[in-house]
Structure 1
Amino acid sequence: MKYGIIGAGAMGIRYGVMLQENAGVTVDFIETWEPNVVKIREQGGVSVARDHENRQIIPINVYSPEAYSGHPDVWIIFKKQMQLADELERDNKAGLFSDDQYVFSAMNGMGHFEKIAQYFPSDRIICGTAMIATRMDGPANVDFMGAEGTENMHMARYTNAEPDATVQAVFDDFTTAKLGPEFAPDWQGMCMSKVVFNAVTNTLCTMFEMQMGQFIEYDGVRAMSAQLFDEVFDACERAGIYLIETRQEEIDSVITVSKAYRYHYPSMYQDFSKGRPTEVDYINGYIAKLGREHDYVCRTHEFVVHEVHMAEMMRQYHQPQTDNTTATINA
């Protein structure tokens, strides 16, 4: 199998490098952030460390959409939600997409698969979630967080059908790459299970500018999490969406994952702290919208969305940091 990665950011690099190095497959990267492309070519690849150690240069193939003439079997997409529509349109105009190709994405938030479905047949879309923390400390400089073998992700077909030969081959490559894949029976329940996690950890850590380990030091974390989770589960039940984890399992995951990534700042905070737009509308905002569409008001999530946007507004009175650090716990 040959893969094309759209978005050579933190998670795109993580998936592409692990596939290339561990599974021995061919991987090409499509990147539109010019400083990243320049740095990759200047240093002969991407600089990769794991938990700040054993940094090395990993050679990769990187192209602009217009300069690429390859034909991957599978595209892997990792872009910010607010950038995705423009990216897909540019890639399509460059002639990158064909009906025989499959596409996989494990982006944060919700709404991206509907956009992807405008360019790919529904039976060739593989939905994913990834509980994998990665940070990008500048162009072509990434850090894989967490010990090797702790990666965990889920995948399901957009049609919720059983895996066909290509989907199974992708699963096998992800397994060999040590990305820790598991199949899920329903893509919406799978994705919402990740969205609700991000709606607690990412959003609250951003609002209070804290690491995940600092977040769980507060005695009221379980109560806060339960309040946010209860709204999501109630809204999803009305929408006929059933998460792959129980309410209690979601609450427990906030504690266990935050302990595992104690010194990690979630991706939403990284965007916020650098003056970039956050994805709160695609996480808490999506939950609030889903609730309204099914006659249920997620009042806490609606309030949280306003709080994050108010904090974004207040950045005009404070000078944001100027480096390009990003981090993702996919997210």
Structure 2
Amino acid sequence: MKFTVVGAGAMGLRYGLLLQDAGNEVDFVDGWEKNVETMHEQGGVYVSRDHENKHLVPLNVYYPEGYTGDPDCYVFFLKQMQLADMLERCAHFFKPNQYAFTCMNGMGHVEKLLKYFKPEKVVAGTALVATVLNGAGDVDFIGKRGAGSMKLANYTEKTDEFTHKLVEQLKKAQFNPELTTNFRGTLMVKVVFNSVVNTLCTMFEMTMGEYADYEGADEMSRQLIDEAYDVCERDGVQMITTRQEELDSVNYVSKVANPLHYPSMYQDMHNYRPTEVDYINGYLVKLGQKHGYNAKTHAFLTHEVHLAERGKQRELKRLQAAKEATAVKA
């Protein structure tokens, strides 16, 4: 199959490179100039696994304005707040027969994709796969090969021949995919997972394992899970897991699968970038408000993350000022 990965960040690189390794033809499209130019200069991307065996892997990467490929399927991995602009930049090469597949964090991306792709051509899912972008042209796959899992569903909840072919390629790439016919229930399970692990690990600057090791972690997780499930039930979402199964998933991934991993929200905060909290905890808050339900713990955490973002921006300004002062003295 032919894939074009839009967004050559941590997850885009992992999915694209492993699909390429499984025998597929894969291109990458990215808008971050430093990333694209670094990979052009290197002749590919440096790949590590668990901080070891760093090696160069060749790939084809393009800016959206110069891309002319014709894939069977686009794989979208961007931050929620970046997607609309990137879709506009890429629109000139989209064709009616092509599929869009995504496992982006949060909610809000599907509606944007539907502006460019037919409903029957949209496949979305969730990925419990840990990856870190160390910098431009440098990615670290966390966990042994075959670690992690994912779920996916057709937007129409009707599977077709292409979707089954996609699942087969994801199996070959060892992503351990599970195809469901419950679109919203599949996606919302990951939103709830992220609303616990991503947000709390970010606020307290700790790995998933460190969070799960705290004696009060189950109580904290359950409070957020209960609020989130209350919201989903009011909106008519049939979740694919029970509340207890969701808590079990948080514990398994945090304690066994990826205990040393810092979630993506932490990575954004640590690198002075905006987080996706509005598309995770904030999304649950707004969905609850539609039904007169106050998801107050999620609301509190959303405000807390935004306050922390302000603090990080102040820290960045101080660092930049100190750097400029040092340069002047030199």
TM-score (norm 1): 0.94
Q: Cα deviation per residue 1:263-293 (whole Å; 9 max; x = unaligned)? A: 1110001101111100000000000111111
Q: Which residue of 1 aligns with 2:17?
A: 17
**Contact 2:194-2:280 at 8 Å conserved across structures:** yes
SS at match of 1:216: helix
Q: Deviations over 1:292-324 (max 9, x none)?
A: 1122111111111111111111224323889xx
Percent of aligned pairs sharing the same letter = 52
Q: Encode CA deviations 1:71-117: one digit per residue, 9 max, x unaligned.
A: 0010000000001111101111xx11111100100000001000000
AA paired with 1:2? K
Q: Aligned-residue CA RMSD in angstroms?
A: 1.2
Q: Find the counterpart in structure 1 of residue 7 from structure 2.
A: 7
| Pick aligned residue for 1:191 from 187, 193, 205 | 187
AA partner of residue 192 (structure 1):
M
Match of 1:178?
174
Amino acid at match of 2:290: E
- In structure 2, how many angstroms separate the alpha carbons of the residues matched to 1:11 and 1:240? 30
Corresponding residue SS for 1:57: strand
**Residue type at the aligned position of 1:9:** G
Q: 2:296 aligns with which of 289, 294, 299?
A: 299
Task: Establish whether residue 239 from structure 1 lines up as the match of residue 235 from structure 2.
Answer: yes
The amino acid that maps onto 1:3 is F
Matches within 5 A, 1:120-131: 120-131=117-128
The letter of the residue matching 1:261 is N
Matched, 1:205 2:201: yes
> How do 1:78-227 and structure 2 match up within 5 A?
78-92=77-91, 95-161=92-158, 163-227=159-223
Say how many residue pairs are matched.
Answer: 318
Task: Label 1:301 to 1:45 Cα distance change in 2 as closer, same or farther (>3 A).
Answer: same
- Give the equivalent residue in structure 2 for 1:36: 35
What is the CA–CA distance in structure 1 between the aligned matches of 2:313 and 2:47, rounded to whole Å? 34
- Give the superposition deviation at 1:33: 0.6
Report the Cα distance in structure 2 between the residues aligned to 1:101 and 1:193, rounded to whole angstroms: 27
- 1:254 matched to 2:253? The reply is no
Whose radius of gyration is greater, 1 or 2? 2
Contact kept, 8 Å, 2:126 with 2:152, in 1: the verdict is: yes
Q: Distance in 1 between matches of 2:24 and 2:162?
A: 14
Q: What secondary structure sits across from 2:213 in the alignment?
A: coil
Residues 272 and 313 in structure 2, CA contact (< 8 A), matched pair in contact too: no
Partner of residue 266, structure 1: 263
- The separation in 2 between residues aligned to 1:53 and 1:180, in whole angstroms, is 23
- C-alpha distance in 1, partners of 2:18/2:10? 12
Aligned AA (2:12): G
Question: What is residue 326 of structure 1 aligned with on the other side?
Answer: none
CA distance in 1, matches of 2:277, 2:205: 15
Q: Take 1:316 and 1:115, find their aligned partners in 2: how far apart are those partners?
A: 29
Q: Which has the higher helix share?
A: 2
Task: Kindly state the Cα deviation for residue 151 of structure 1 after the two structures are TM-superposed.
Answer: 2.7
Distance 2:32 2:129 in 1: 23
| Unaligned segments of structure 2, at least 5 residues | 321-330
Structure 1 gap ranges (5+): 323-331
1:163-222, CA deviations, whole angstroms, 9 ceiling, x for partnerless residues?
A: 211111111111111111101121110011000000000000111111111111211110
